Structure formats: structure tokens, C-alpha cells
Structure 1
Amino acid sequence: MKGFDWGVRRPAASVEDLRAEARRRIPRALFDYVDRGSYGEQTLRANRRDLDRLLLRQRVLVDVSKRQLGTTLLGEPVALPMALAPVGLCGLMHRDGEILACRAAQAAGIPFTLSTLSIGSVEDVAAAVEKPFWFQLYMWRDRGVTRALIERAIAAKCSALVVTVDLQALAQRHADIRNGLTVPPRVTLRNALETALRPGWALGVLRGKRRTFGNLAGLVPEAGDGVNGLTRWSNGQFDPGLGWSDLEWIRGVWPGPLIVKGILDPDDAERAAGAGAAAIVVSNHGGRQLDGTCSSIAALPRVRDRVGDRVELLVDGGIRSGQDVMRGLANGARACMIGRAYVYGLAAGGQAGVARAIRMMGRELDVSMALCGRRRIADIGPDQLMVN
């Protein structure tokens, strides 16, 4: 792959290889920000454990010579049943990381979701790519900030708004505290050696257009101080009193498709469907919020049973392979949201690394469909699974 130098003897064969390379290429504080979860990380482990428990049912002597991996999301064709999830700080994982990830997703024919807490702003990304992308929104107490972000997403012609609803209180992530994570990264005696050992990463980030939260710069003055400033501001913004009326308020401002992310309970899924959501992401925030709750893949069938086909369902949490994508589809999702897997690729090799992650997972899905006797995405259902 032109312009893609792994700096290692062996090529990447899996997302786990990308993870190992990402660990080598970026400082520990940033790697742990992506890789770790909240508190005791029970939910983080549950996401992987419960996926591993779902066994795929092998079928033979079925004509699978012509397989189709395409489907639709929100009425738009996609080449694979996947979307890149919103992940903060991608512009610190690699120079202009959000732009590169969006380009890779669009080249692969799947949606990209820009986080509110991205380094590159929604305007930066829109100016650098050819097609619309999705924008993720936090429901701040400050309605002026919330409205301004929605209006900027409208102006940037974003094709869907992904509202994250499971952050009414910010869970503690022990690794971020221990590592002293700041944005932009602050050089201290503790991390100077790690930075010195990664000159390529450091020079790349320094040459990037931004090194702090692009969507909040100028909109939230405190965000210019990085994570510490944002924390001071957000302590008064994460509102335990937020309710379904707030989602209805957003629905009144945003004219396009609305995706509600962070649903685990069937009752909440019912309410989201009634509030005008076009899609729901069954998600526990990648194990980064409520620790000790159920995995996303375990919650998915109950949500599907409740809402049926009234809304499209996506699932995230621990998805690292094409086999995991197939498990998600068989358990009731229309598509899977990919977070850590693509960020490992971004940190390891920029746009080419993200493209590598998408391509590997797509090929794994294709082979798994063949070995399971499935020709189309629509053919994948609950009968495809066995529980270990």
C-alpha cells in the first residue's frame, strides 16, 4: 500500500495487529484513552466476552459464488454494513485524523461520524471531503451551545445527527487520570521520554491544523485550556435532569435523520422510536460509562423485540472483526458501528491504516458469510448463531 510504512517486519493481518502497532506509535496516555474503559472495566470486558460466546453456525454445500455485502442505512446505499463511530481526539492520534478517517470511510462506501469532541472541526472536515458525513452531538445544558453545534452541522450539510444520550454524568476513567491526559498533550517529565521516542507522531501533530477541540474553540472559551478547562465547563453542563423533552427540542431544530446513541433498555428504545428517531445505536459507550451493566450485544435482541422494524438498529461495543459484524447482524442489527478498531488503524498508519481496518473487516465478513452459507446481508438472521 503506497505511503503506508508499518515500520515492522510483518504486515498487519488483523485489527489486533493494528492495535499493537498503535500502541507503539502513539503516547501511552492517548492509547489508553482509546483502549481502556471506566472504573473496574467490567462492561468493557463484557462486550468482548458476550461476543465470543456467540458461535457462528457453519453450513456447507450451498452456492455462495455470488455474495453481496451491501445494504442501506437511513435509505442510503452502503458498501458494507458498518459505520465509523464518533471517537474524540482523533486529530491527536494522527495529524488531521478526523479528515483522514472520513476520507477512508467514504472511499470504502460507509458512513463516518464526527465527534463533538473532535480535534478537527465540522467545517474542517466538510471542506476536506467530497460527501456528507454524520455529526455526533452531546446534549449540553447550555442550549445556545447545543443549538450552535446543530446549526453548524446543518451548514456543513451533515446527513444525520447522532445524539449521545448516555453521558448525563461523566464516568471516571482511571487510566486517563493516572496518565495525566491533557489536550493538547502537555510535555512533562513523566511523558517527555514517550514523546521523544515518537518523533514522527509529535511532528505530525504539531503540523496539524488544530491541537484542541475544534468544534468548541471560540464557542466555549474554557475548552481552549484542554481537558481540564472542558471538565470545568462540562461539570455544569452534564444535566441529570435531561429528559425526553430535550430530545424533542433537538428534533425541532435538526431537520434531517436523527440517530439516538446509547440505548440498552427496551423501554428507552420504545421512547426513542416515539420521539422521532430514525435509528438507534444499542451501545454502552464502549464500556466507558456505566460499569457493571450488560454488553451491547446482549441488549440488542431485547431492543429488537420491542421496536421491531420501526427504527433501524445499529450496535457497537467490542466489534473487532468481520465475524463480530456478522454476530451483530445475526443478533438483530442492521449495521455495526466501529470505534476502537478504526482508531487503531488511524494511529498505526493514518488514512491507509483506517482503510486497512475497514478492508480487513469487510473481507472477514465476506469469508464468514461464505462459510455460513449466506449470500446476502439480508440472509443473516438469528438462526445463524449458537450460544457457547
Structure 2
Amino acid sequence: MSGPNDNFDPKQVAALDPAQIDGFVTEALSAIEASSTTAELKQARHDHAGEVSPLALANREIGALPPHARKEAGQRVGQARGRLNQAFAARQEALSVAEEEATLVAERVDMTLPVDLGPRGALHPVTNLIDEMIDVFVAMGWEVADGPQVESEWHNFDALNLAPDHPARALQDTLWIDPPSAGKLLRTQTSPVQIRAMLERGVPLYIISPGKVFRADEYDATHLPVFHQLEGLVVDKGISMADLRGTLDHLAQAMFGDVRTRMRPHYFPFTEPSAEVDLQCFVCHGESVGNPERPCRTCRSEGWIEWGGCGVVNPRVLAACGVDPEVYSGFAFGMGVDRTVMFRTGAPDLRDFVEGDIRFSRSILGGAR
């Protein structure tokens, strides 16, 4: 058996000399201390602790030493590399903190400086008027009711005493949801909310129901396929047409100031008797009628403006909702919110209401009565 091989070339392992190792460490520490940025420190780590750094190369030469010398050399190189790793970590932390502070200073925003603010928004005129109308009724103790925009045929037509052959059910007015056999439609009025309120809340009942409605109308200056209504319903003992008239007079004066109303006989399936409500022209107050020298664009010199429909709730509607018409009576009314905005502001074209131009909303709100 041969003995241990103690022969090795001292030049081959010169990098493992203690003085040489100390020199590597001193040079590396100087590079670490000289690094002023994390980028420079990264380069110093590559040069002095990377895979081709002097200490890494020296570590590879340990295998060329005889067995009895390897332990000491390994400890020496390991201690040197550990010392550098600690120095790198400490310097990395210090540089990161310094760079973060410098970034915060560079990106600091002076909150006391004046800035150019974006233009202020504005409520849509329809939204604004609905809020005003709601305030009028809430002040009288009424409640606000809401319902789905996709309605059942029963709520939208049957419960409101609209017969199966009523023209309003036809495609020229109603937008039906596929499949037609499902009996679903986009509500043509907010009256279904009144049906739901009687079924769910019971009586006595004092509610208003503002919201969107949908009809297959032309898109022009005076018609929209999607518009807004506000309807009111009262069901209680002893309610009469006089209560309806007083309510509408109060609403008209709240919306238009000192203005008169009138009722013309009309027909609605869900009210009996029924009437159309007209407003005395709040611009000419009727003085333009028969006076060609002082024409009025608002009422077309007719002296009155059609506002909405109303009437005493049909007993069949009450019975459909489980309310005894022998004990309770009520009234209902409804008007278009979009057209009411036009009356109040003189807006000439309903299409402007859906264009989404905030300048229109500002101009309308600024000129509202």
C-alpha cells in the first residue's frame, strides 16, 4: 500500500497564502467602502465575491493541498468570505436607506402650491329635478318606492286593468324580452311599482315612484325610447278627487312658482274618473292667447301646457292587489320628468339630455327656475 501524497507545487496554491488572502480581503473592503450606489456595490460584489473573484479561485485550489493542510486553508478562506458577506450586507442596507431618502426628497410634492383643478361635475338635470320632486313629497310624509325595470306582463298590464287586446301591448309601444312566451318586458311606465307597493306594503299607502321607462318611440327632439316618469299613489279611506287636485296644485307651485292647473276629462284604464293635467303657461300666463303681437313659444300661444295624467284609482286595480274597494279609495298621477325639465328651463331638444355633455347640464342647471 502506498503512503499519503505530500508532494504539491507551492506556486500552484500561492493564492492560499495567508498574506495573499488578507490582501484580497483588504482590497474588497476598500471597494465596498468606495461604492456610493447600489449599482457600484453590485459590481464590487461581482469583482470580489463572484464566481471568478480571487477568493473564489483560491477556494478552488484547496483541493490541491495535502489532506492535513486543507482544513486550515478552508477555514481561512471561509472566514475571509464570511467577513466580506457581512460587509456587503451592511453596505447594502446603508445605501438602500440613503437612496430611498434621496428618492423621497426628489419626488416630494409641495401640497401648498396652487394647482389647476379639473372642471367640476354637475348633476344631470333629470336627476336634479327628481331629487327636488322627491323632497316635495317626503316633506308631506310620503315614501319613495322603487321596482325592477324588467317587469312581468301581469304587473305592467294585467293588474293595471289593461286588457289583452289593449294597443299599448303591441310592439309599436312595448319592448318585449325574448322569448315572448316568458311574458317579460321593459316597463312602459312606473305604475308597476304602485302594484308592487300595494302588494308588499299594504294600505294605507302614500308613495311616489320615480324611474326610467322604455317605449318603442322615435328618437327625436320631443321623444326618447328611454325617458323618466314620476308617479304618485295614495290609497286610504275617504280619498277623493279633491285630494288629488290639492296635491297636484301643491306640486305645480313647488316646481313652477305661482301657477294654476286645470283638469280635462280623459281615459286611462287604471283610473276612473281620469283627467289630463294642464299647467297655465308660466311664461305668458295666458296673455298670448288670441294676441298675435305677443306670441309665446312655450305654450304656442295656447295659454296651457299639458303636464301629465291622473285620476281616481280604478276599483279593479285595488281588487287585483287585494285591497277592498268598498273600504278604500285612492288617486294616482304621473308626469314625464324629462319634459318637466324642458318646461322649467326652455331646453329645446330632448336628445341633448342623453348626449352626456356636461356643458349642457351646467347650462340647464344654471338657468333652472
TM-score norm. by structure 2 comes to: 0.25
Q: Name which one, 1 or 2, has greater alpha-carbon Rg.
A: 2
More relative contact order, 1 or 2 (CA 8 Å, 6+ apart): 1
TM-score norm. by structure 1 comes to: 0.24
